[in-house]
Amino acid sequence: MLRSPSGGTGPAGAVRGEGRLVSIGTVLNLLREEFPEVTISKIRFLEAEGLVEPQRTPSGYRKFSTADVERLAHVLRMQRDHYLPLKVIREQLDALARGERIQLPAPAQPRDALDQALEEVLDPSADEGPAEAAQGLEGAPAAPAARIGREELLAGAGVTEDELAEWESYGLLSAHSDGGFDADSVTIARLVAELGRYGLEPRHLRAVKAAADREAGLVEQVIAPLRRHRNPQTRAHAEATAKELAALSVRLHAALVRAALQPRGQ
C-alpha cells in the first residue's frame, strides 16, 4: 500500500475524500505536499511514457482517478528514493498490478552522472521555469512553446552578452525573427558554459549541433506525413511520436558515447 505524506493528508486520501475524477491542476496541488518539485510538464511526461493513463473528456481534457494519483505518487517516490529509471519503474508497477511482490533497492543509491544527465534531458520539466510551470492547467488546446527574451536568457543561464553573442556566431543558439528564444535555450546555454569550463570552446561544439540537426531531420522525415493529416488525432499522434523518437535518439546517442569512452584492449 502506498504511504501518504505526514499528517495523513496525502494525494490518495484527498482524492478519495472527494470521490470524483480531478483535473491535472488538482493532481499537481495534491502531489506537491510530498513532491514540491513536481510540475504539470512532469505529469504529462510520465503520461507520455505510459506510467499513468488518465481518462479523457469528450473535449480532450485529462481526468485523474484516485488510482492514477496513487500511481503517480508511487512513481515519483521510486524516482526520488531509489533512483530507478522509468523502464524499471514501469516493470515494477506491472508486477504489483499482477499481485507480485517487488524488491526495491536500498534508498539513496545515486546513478552515474551520464544516466542522471540523460534523464534530465529526456524530462523537459527538469529545467522548467515559473512561466512554463504555470501553463497548461487543462484549458484550451496547448499554446505554442513559450519564448523568452534576451535579458531573461542571460539571467537564467548566468552568462554574459559577449558569451551569448559568440555562441550565436557558431550557431549554437539562435533567436527567432521577433528576437525571442526558445525556452530550451537556457538549458543549452548552461551546458555550453559548463563544457567551456573543461576547455571545450564553441567551435568544438559545432559538430554536436550539426549532429543534433541531422537527428531532428530524421525525426521530421518520419512524422511529416502525420502532421499533414486532416485528422486532428493523427496530428496529435505525430507530436507524441516525435517525442518518442527524440527520446530514443538521445538514448542511442548516450549509449554510443558511453561505448566510445570504454577502454579498448591493446
Instruction: Centre a 10 Å sphere on the Cβ of residue 42 and count the other Cβ atoms it contains.
Output: 23
pLDDT on residue 173: 93
- How far is it, in rounded angstroms, from Cα 219 to Cα 246? 7
Q: Is pLDDT of 247 > 80?
A: yes
DSSP helix/strand/coil, 101 = coil
Q: How confident is the model at residue 10 (pLDDT cuts 50, 70, 90)?
A: very low
Handedness of CA 136, 182, 124, 193 (dihedral sign): negative
Least confident segment among 29-33, 124-128, 225-229, 254-258:
124-128
The answer to whether 11-110 and 144-260 have equal CATH topology is: yes
Contact by Cβ (8 Å): 154, 129: no
Residue pair 55/65 in contact (Cβ under 8 Å)? The answer is yes
- Average pLDDT on 162-168 reads 94
Cα separation, 12 vs 95, in Å, equals 21
CA distance 188 to 163: 13
**Domain spanning 144-260, CATH architecture:** Orthogonal Bundle (1.10)
Domain locations in the chain? 11-110, 144-260
Helix (H, G, I), strand (E, B) or coil at 215: helix
Q: Is 71:151 a contact under the CB 8 Å cutoff?
A: no
Q: Are the CB atoms for 74 and 2 separated by under 8 Å?
A: yes
- Calculate Rg over the CA atoms of the chain: 21
Q: Which fold has domain 11-110?
A: Multidrug-efflux Transporter Regulator; Chain: A; Domain 2 (1.10.1660)
Q: Which amino acid belongs to residue 40?
A: I
Tell how far CA 238 is from the center of its chain: 18
Continuous segment of H or E residues that includes residue 263: none
Task: Give the DSSP letter of residue 5.
Answer: P
pLDDT at site 28:
92
pTM equals 0.49
